[in-house]
Chains A and B, each alone.
Chain A
Amino acid sequence: MSTCDDVRERLDDFVDGLLEPAEAAAVAGHLEGCASCRREEQALRALLRDAAALADTVAPPRDLWPAIERRLRHGSGAWLRGLAAAAALLLAVGGALLARTAPAPAPSGPETAVQLDGTGRLQEAALQAAEMARLEAEYDQAAQVLLVELRARQDRLPPQTVAQVEASLRTIDTALGQIRTALAQQPSETGLHMMLASTHRKKIELLRRVVRVGA
């Protein structure tokens, strides 16, 4: 195993400690004398550290939700602040990592629906839709990052487990679609907004848990 290609093929297993002792020693020996491969190894280890930390940082803390729920229950202005807080927190905890790993999509359409009415007041329903769309975009970004992680690690999980997790994700996505359809008919229904947010949260928690297990 003298070539850089040979070593790089084995780097994944090397950093995971999966090589036989003699093979691991050969890789270690090559790394000592090859700065280029050493950089590859360091980059891989850094990526794995980030990925391990990811599972704990992408989703909002669980105890954020009771506060959001209280705000949602206390009328329109307050619930908007709650959604904004949720979105801001998602950005704060996951933003840096998301920026590194995925291109941030532009805010989705409903934001442009925010308009001033004749008296200068913001139209309530449009603003609600805009805030919820922003929150959904943040959740979708977080879910995408975690899905990439899940794909990268799914060979460490039993195939049946992966199949069940994917079936659960489909169930959640179907539910999200149904809630969005209902919201299109009743955009001011607070309970539906809460249901949409909590269903997104379940998806993130499921992904985070499975990624952590596969780490």
Chain B
Amino acid sequence: MRGTMSVKSLAWCALLAAATASAQGRVDERRAAAADGTVAIETGGGSVRVVGWDKAEVTVTGTLGADSQRVEVRGDRRKLRIEVVPERHDHPGAADLEIHVPAGSRVEVEAFQAAVDVEGVTGSVRAETVNSSITFTGTADDVRLESVNGGVSVRGRSARINVESVNGPVDVSDPGGDLQAGTVNGPLKVSGALGLARGRLESVNGRVTFEGKLAARGALDIENVGGGVDLAISSPADYRVSTFNGAIVNEIGPGPQAVRGHDEDDEDDETPGKELTFSAGSGGARVTVTTLNGRVRIMKGR
């Protein structure tokens, strides 16, 4: 009899513990928020999805990871801070969260290893990760995304975009306005540009690809040390392309000229390097490409 009670007690304890753990693992928070306030999010791992909506409130739903104590939401309507609190100070906490914010918010995300996905925010978005990806979809005033080893992806015609990854790929679709993008090793791809006013694309060793249209007086500057550059611009532009050790392939105009050394009388003093200057169509926009070793290919735009 006594043994039976003990087994039952243990079973109840187990059920109770499971229920408690499940309740602790769920996140469901709601706060009033200003239409253009700041929402700062800090997490270690898992995933964060931020969605802009037309309500004057912030909601946080999701599931805590096993190594996290709780999600802490503090602050006021103007500035809310959402933090995944880890079990141990020396170990990042993880959670899978979906956070709705007023569309006009200023969103700031610091996520060590959590994948970050933001959409529908029209204010500004700043996100930083170390080992995970960041994506933004929509049209915001200002987008700034940085990752060390993860990929960074932006879709939409935001006014200002600044994206960087060290080792991951950077992919920007349909940009207009101002764009700055950079990588060290990862490929950098811009596609569907529509009236880009100003672009600066830099890489140390990754391939840079640009496809789309520039604004009539727009400017696009590309610099790559070791990687190649592929261009397919479907709007009039004045090109100035130079490479020190690489090649220039122009499929829409004249070929490059070799660059000579400074002593024009000495035939042995020819230094490596090629330059190409030409206009496509009526010109207007300015395109400058500089590489050290990478091949530059200029193709017909679609």
Contacts and interface: CB of A to CB of B under 8 A. Distances in A.
Given A194-B290, A198-B202, A164 B244 contact: no
B158 interface: no
Interface stretch (A25-33, A39-47, A183-191): A183-191
Contacts of A165: 148, 166
Contacts of A198: 202, 223
Interface in B206-262: 221, 223, 225-226, 242, 244-245, 259, 261-262
Given A18-B89, A18-B90, A164-B149, A202 B226 contact: no
Interface residues of B, number: 35
B271 A179 contact: no
A156 B128 CA distance: 17
B131 A158 contact: yes
A101 interface: no
A213 interface: yes
A188 B271 CA distance: 12
Contacts of A199: 204, 225
B293 to A, nearest CB: 7
Contacts of B131: 158, 160-161
Interface stretch (A77-85, A103-111, A134-142, A167-175): A167-175
A157 interface: yes
A53 interface: no
B136 interface: no
Interface string A176-215: 0011001001101101101100110010011001100100
Interface string B1-37: 0000000000000000000000000000000000000
Given A168-B167, A206-B166, A175 B89 contact: no
B130 interface: yes
A192 B273 CA distance: 11
B78 to A, nearest CB: 24
Contacts of B204: 171-172, 175, 199, 202
Q: How large is the interface on A (under 10, 10 to 19, 20 to 34, 35 or more residues)?
A: 35 or more
Nearest to B244: A182
A157 B185 contact: no
Contacts of A210: 130, 148
Nearest to A73: B288
Contacts of A160: 131
A213 B146 CA distance: 12
A195 B184 contact: no
Contact of A182 (B164, B166, B184, B245): B245
Contacts of B226: 171, 175, 178
Contacts of B56: none
A168 B242 CA distance: 25
B205 interface: yes
Contacts of A186: 244, 259, 261, 271, 273
A16 interface: yes
Interface in A70-117: none
A152 to B, nearest CB: 15
Interface string A126-159: 0000000000000000000000000000001110
Contacts of A189: 244, 273
A161 B148 contact: yes
Contact of B130 (A69, A157, A178, A188): A157
Nearest to B146: A209
Contacts of A157: 130
B202 A202 contact: yes
B290 A191 contact: yes
Contact of A161 (B130, B205, B262, B290): B130
Interface in A47-75: 69
A118 interface: no
Contacts of A205: 164
A194 B225 CA distance: 11
Contacts of B75: none
B292 interface: yes
Given A194-B223, A195-B223, A175 B205 contact: yes
Contacts of A18: 89-90
Given A168-B184, A185-B272, 17 more contacts: A18-B90, A157-B130, A164-B166, A171-B226, A185-B261, A185-B271, A186-B244, A186-B259, A186-B261, A189-B244, A192-B244, A195-B223, A202-B204, A206-B184, A209-B146, A209-B148, A210-B130
Interface of B: 89-90, 112-113, 128, 130-131, 146, 148-149, 164, 166-167, 182, 184-185, 202, 204-205, 221, 223, 225-226, 242, 244-245, 259, 261-262, 271-273, 290, 292-293
14 contacts: A16-B90, A18-B89, A18-B90, A158-B113, A165-B148, A171-B205, A172-B204, A182-B244, A191-B290, A195-B223, A198-B223, A210-B130, A210-B148, A213-B130
